[in-house]
Amino acid sequence: MKVEILIFAYLAVCASMIVFNIVCIFVFRHRDKKIDSSKIDFETEIKQCIDNKAVDSKHREFLMKKLKKVNNLTAFDKTLNDLYLDYPDQIIWYLEDISSVFVYLCLEYLKKNKIQSAYYPYIIRKYRIGSGKNISIITDTMLILVGDSSLYCRQNALEALSVIGDASSIVKALHIIDESGYYHHSKLISDALLDFSGNNIKLSDLLWSEFSKFSEKMQLSILDFFRFSSGEHVKRVFQLLTSKDTSDEIKYSCIRYLGKFHYDPAYPYLLDYAKDTDEVHWEYTAITAMSLAAYPCEQTKEVLKNLLHSSNWYVRYNASQSLETLGYTYTDLIDIFDGDDRYASEIMRYRLDQKKLKESEATLNDA
């Protein structure tokens, strides 16, 4: 009897799933038809504005009424995508002329649920609404959304602020994210910062002035942004590396930065980290082994060759990669290949064989 009950329960669940899928198909089809219908209306209206070379109050009222609904905003987005192919300059002008509509929509989308609210900053970012203008209502709305529990909402709002290009608003947004306690991947933050459309010098200065107020996790995101943006921060990064108050994770990031941007005063410190045989803090040696590729000289070569004998695989691998990057060949490293350390010779041979294979593939592709 128990088996029969389980079977009937299983059949009921399956039937429910089938009914649910059928209902979803009809709902989505109905939604798509409404979007297509709205798309035709938007296209007619926008083309009329383009022909008249003006956006009147009637058209703005039409947009304010329609765009309060997410489905209509989706249709509007698709319409702009299509029209941009034929009228790129006119669409850019049109979007600038209807910026007041998006100011009105701020409060409307703050009232909606998280998924719907997230779509609004996406549109702001995509069409660069308010870029370079710092419209206070739009900026304030993005700062509210950047504190939302939804990752999509937070990220879209942060990217919208980056497009707007106000440095102080970006710093405020980072503080809000940092203090919210919600998980936000560091790469998403650094990528948003890299898209900043405003004054990068002002943004960098503000980030450095507030650096100590951020959590370690946010500091790492900011350092990643500096590493991928410019080498103008070498002095400050070096000071951070040599400070006694700096944590290990931050120092790792500083070493990576100095491995991308050459800075002579940092070289002796990097050598000290590379020569450190403390297996508890092997990360310092491993990261430094990679960073030394930015400091080509005979001493660097010898240090990296010694690191090939390390008992730690990551240290050996990074050292071999740096030696390859510096352009050393089998002949230059003959003592490694003829030596007694099989692990050192194998990992170096692997790196050089991989390089040779890639060069051969590139030659075949060019042919």
The string of pLDDT tens digits covering residues 84-102 is 988 889 999 999 899 889 9
pTM of the model: 0.85
pLDDT value at residue 295: 96
What's the whole-number mean pLDDT along residues 159-183? Answer: 94
Report which of residues 142 and 12 the model is more confident about: 142
More confident residue, 25 or 239: 239
State percent of the chain over pLDDT 90: 60
Residue carrying structure tokens 């956006």 = 55
Compare 50 and 132 and report the one with higher pLDDT: 50
CA 260/CA 293 separation, integer angstroms: 9
Residue the block writes with tokens 């089809």? 29
Question: What pLDDT is stored for residue 249 in this prediction?
Answer: 95
Pick the residue with more confidence: 325 or 358? 325
- Please state the rounded mean pLDDT for residues 342-353: 90
Q: What is the mean pLDDT of residues 107-117?
A: 88
Does the pLDDT at position 146 exceed 70? yes
User: What pLDDT, on a 0 to 100 scale, did the predictor assign at position 71?
Assistant: 87
- Residue 28 binned pLDDT confidence (cut-offs 50, 70, 90): low
pLDDT band at 27 (very low <50, low <70, confident <90, very high): low
Q: Residue 42: its pLDDT value, please?
A: 87
Mean pLDDT on 153-166 = 94
- Range scoring the smallest mean pLDDT among 24-33, 92-101, 295-304, 314-323: 24-33
- Beta-carbon count within 10 A of 304 CB: 25
Give the Cα separation of 134 and 269 in Å (integer): 43
Residue 367 has pLDDT above 70, yes or no: no
336 contacts 345 by C-beta, under 8 angstroms:
yes
Average pLDDT, the chain: 89
The separation between CA 313 and the C-alpha centre of its own chain, rounded to angstroms, equals 30
Residue 294 pLDDT: 95
Is residue 30 over pLDDT 90?
no
CA distance 346 to 343: 5
Q: Read off the tokens for 294.
A: 């930015």
| Amino acid 34: pLDDT | 62
User: 19-33, 80-94, 198-212: lowest mean pLDDT where?
Assistant: 19-33
Tell me if residue 113 falls in helix, strand or coil. coil
Closest CA to 288 of 308, 259, 263: 259
* Phi, psi torsion values for 163, nearest 5 degrees: -70, -40
Per-residue model confidence (pLDDT) at position 176: 96
* pLDDT given for residue 55 in this prediction: 87
Whether residue 37 has pLDDT greater than 80: no
